[in-house]
Structure 1
Amino acid sequence: MSSSFNKFFEKGKAKVKEYEQKYNSQHSSNNQQSYPGQAPPQGYPGQQPQPTSPQNVPSPYTEKVYWKPSFDASTPVSHNFRHEQGDHGWGNNEKQNYTDNPANSFHHDNRLIVRGLVQNGSYTSARLTSHQTLSRPRGYLTATILPPSAEGVWPAYWMLPKDPFQWPNDGEVDICESWQGEGSNHTCLHWGHYNAEDHNKHQVVVTPLHDIASRPHTYGFAWIEEEGIPNWRGRMVWYIDGKPVQRANIPQGIRRMEDFRILLNIAMGGTVCHGKLPRDGYYDMVVSEMKMCEEPVGGWDQFERDFGFTPEGHPV
């Protein structure tokens, strides 16, 4: 097996277990700060690089937003997201305990902070899943994110169908995913098991982002799945800072895209991180904007042009 295949194979084994049951650090000083002997602060750390203006901003005169969660400090995180909780390893021997504690997920300066905390052998984090689904047969989801990047840390911004669902047959879409501080982003579509029979049911593109840990990027995802067209499977395109990086036909048999919901989480340790754990400190995923729009930047004509020349993901 190739190194790339091994990584995705291990990730797959992890997720199979999860749904059957119902980073010596390469940390960046920009994303992690140690606090020996005391708990990290609960407020937004001043050492964290402040997200700059998104690279992929539609004109306010043409933007058609149908959902945009408030990240105002007065709005509880639970207003827009459900906290999935537990420390059972999540099928991947992960170390973190997902909690609904405000120290692990909170709003600050109109940003959503998902924070992994490591202190004296305690590993806590948050796993958020949106109450809102894509809810439409076509649209555009976008978020501006600065993820943590360090050995032993695995942040992800991704989608699954709403409950109840069956993994992997119902599908999974990964939009912003990285691990081990490798300086790259993974966009993925999964709808099969990690075995020889389903090997081609995983489409992946790895995009090098040398500044993933120091500068926020805008991650977009557009889909179209209209009714009434024979043999219509629909199409999707992933974007980073307005540039299309991956395309895919929507596989037959997976749940309709309108049923998909957003997940944001920071995992620590586990199989994907080769058992390595992050050092003491905090690890933040900073989401400065998130919204669902009726059409992608440039409209559906631009989407069709993007789909025409954007590469498909490769099987793992």
Structure 2
Amino acid sequence: MSINKYLIIFFVFLPAVTSSILNSEEKETVYNYLPIDKKLTTAIESSDFLTNKESYCRKRKNLNDVTWFEDFSTHTLNKADWNYSLSNGFFDNGLFVYGWGNGELQYYREPMKNSQSYTNDNLFIEDGLLKIQPIYHQKPYKKNFDFTSARINTKGLRSFTFPSRITICFKVPTGIGAWPAIWLMPQSNISWPKGGEIDIMESRGRVTNIVGSALHFGNSFFDKATLVNDVVIPPSVSFQEKFHSITFEWKKDSIKMYLDSETLPYMSISNEQEDFKEYGYPFGSVYYLIVNVAVGGKYDDYKIDKQAFCKNNDCTNKDNPDQHRLLIDWIEYARIDN
């Protein structure tokens, strides 16, 4: 195993992208990225990648060592663990913030009425996998939204805190504008980002072999810090073609992220770092888990290709619909020694 790290100040992604975004003509598209506080990119060349496999996720732990696990073994989403987030935004001091504060285009839908499986066309369980697919509606949904998607969370139902280890085995969707995410927010209603946000995994649908993890913290939307670490793997084992896992190791004074079966973290954060001297270290409380796929937004500079998405619920416009879905194989939560 070989790990190389680079400190960079602006988002930089390779390879260059050629796509039909605004019209039917193919042309080279230049992407501009917003500056962030600190960003590391870690390249991983694992010996495990020399073997062609469908999944490179680390092996499951013995169930006796696991506090909670979800392997989506039935077609029904468990109501005891999962809520749905709805709409296209949230209320903040009485004002509705559209696009979830990020300029996102999707409307998050509720489960279908009278659905015994607690699912809908955007989120369902099939073949032992949780599948979330954004859908492009040629006739706008609720008259205003070209896209629908799904976002589920464990708020008020299942909590996560340190010392622990959370592992998710996943495959990300392809398509310019797809923004899948697996992340944690505080169970308390403290205003963002005072309580911190932990992004275990985010990716851009136009980039096959890069995903990122991030920490957000600070006093307000305009007075905050962000630490980001992207992980890069060979295109032959890309996150869009193969299953991979990220393990989030969470202790009282540190946060680490591991890819697959690697023994060295690609992200390692200590509460004694200079980054926390101004705002403090907020990652010592109780959080809940969120899984979603957004569409568009500032994460990829608002770029989007409508033709990259499933159309009108049935997804028959795609030869391989799963390529355009976030797939979750399993989730594990285990308590560990601090």
Shared fold per TM-score greater than 0.5: yes
Equivalent residue number for residue 126 of structure 1 = 150
Change (3 A) 1:160 1:7: farther
> Of 250, 260, 268, which residue of structure 2 is paired with 1:241?
260
Describe the shift of the 1:205–1:111 C-alpha distance in structure 2 as closer, same or farther (beyond 3 A).
same
* Map of 2:243 onto structure 1: 216
What is the CA deviation profile of residues 116-154 of structure 1, one whole-angstrom value per residue up to 9, with x for unaligned ones? 1113153110111123111x4311000101011221111
- The equivalent of 2:109 in structure 1 is 99
Is the 2:169–2:246 contact (alpha carbons within 8 Å) kept by the matching residues of 1? yes
TM-score, normalised via structure 1 length: 0.69
Change (3 A) 1:160 1:270: same
User: 2:172–2:240: 8 Å Cα contact kept in structure 1?
Assistant: yes
Are 1:254 and 2:282 matched, yes or no?
yes
Matched, 1:207 2:226: no
**How far does residue 165 in structure 1 lie from its aligned partner after superposition?**
2.3
More strand by share: 2
3-state SS, counterpart of residue 191 of structure 1: strand
Q: Which amino acid aligns with 1:99?
A: R
Partner of 2:176: helix, strand, or coil? coil
Q: Check whether the contact 1:153–1:278 (CA below 8 A) recurs between aligned residues.
A: no
Which digits, 9 at most, give the CA deviation of each residue in 1:238-285, with x for residues without a partner? Answer: 11113211111245451524x111111111122333333332433311
- Which of 200, 204, 211 in structure 2 is aligned with 1:185? 211
After TM superposition, the score normalised by the length of structure 2 is: 0.65
Structure 2: segments with no counterpart, 5+ residues: 1-7, 13-31, 37-52, 89-97, 112-119, 141-145, 311-323
Contact 2:173 2:205 survives alignment (8 Å)? no
The residue aligned with 1:231 is none
1:137 corresponds to = 162
Q: Partner letter of residue 246 of structure 1?
A: M
RMSD: 2.8
Do residues 148 (structure 1) and 150 (structure 2) align? no
Q: Which SS does the other structure have where 2:33 is aligned?
A: helix
Instruction: Evaluate the alpha carbon distance shift between residue 162 and residue 247 of structure 1 in structure 2; reply closer, same or farther with a 3 A threshold.
Output: same
- The equivalences for 1:1-316 within 5 A come to 3-4=10-11, 7=33, 52-58=54-60, 60=62, 64-87=65-88, 88-101=98-111, 102-120=120-138, 122-130=146-154, 131-134=157-160, 136-183=161-208, 184-192=210-218, 198=224, 201-209=225-233, 210=235, 211-225=238-252, 234-243=253-262, 244-250=265-271, 252-257=280-285, 259-280=286-307, 281-282=309-310, 283-295=324-336
Contact 2:33 2:300 in 1 (8 A): no
CA separation of 1:58/1:106 partners in 2, compared to 1, >3 Å: closer, same or farther?
closer
Contact 2:10/2:35, CA 8 A, preserved across alignment: no
Structure 1 stretches lacking a partner, 5+ long: 11-50, 226-233, 304-316
Q: How far is 1:218 from its partner?
A: 0.6
Q: Find the aligned partners of 1:9 and 1:116 in 2 and give their Cα distance.
A: 28
What do the CA deviations read for 1:41-93 (whole angstroms, capped 9, x no partner)? xxxxxxxxxx93453115538x6100113513343354421111112311222
Contact 2:55 2:242 in 1 (8 A): no
Distance 1:277 1:269 in 2: 6
Amino acid at match of 2:70: P
CA distance in 1, matches of 2:187, 2:34: 24
Q: Could you list the per-position Cα deviations for residues 173-220 of structure 1 after superposition, in whole angstroms to 9, with x for gaps in the alignment?
A: 11111124223111111112576x64xx32211111331110110111
Q: In terms of mean alpha carbon deviation, does 215-224 or 173-182 score higher?
A: 173-182
SS in 1 for 2:300: coil
SS at 1:94's partner residue? coil
Provide the rounded CA distance (Å) in 2 between the counterparts of 1:59 and 1:68: 10
Q: Is the 8 A contact 2:201 2:211 kept in 1?
A: yes
Identity within the alignment, %: 21
What is the identity, as a one-letter code, of the residue corresponding to 2:65? K
Aligned length: 244
CA distance in 1, matches of 2:9, 2:229: 15
Amino acid at match of 2:168: A
3-state SS of the aligned residue for 2:57?
Answer: coil
Q: Which residue of 1 aligns with 2:93?
A: none
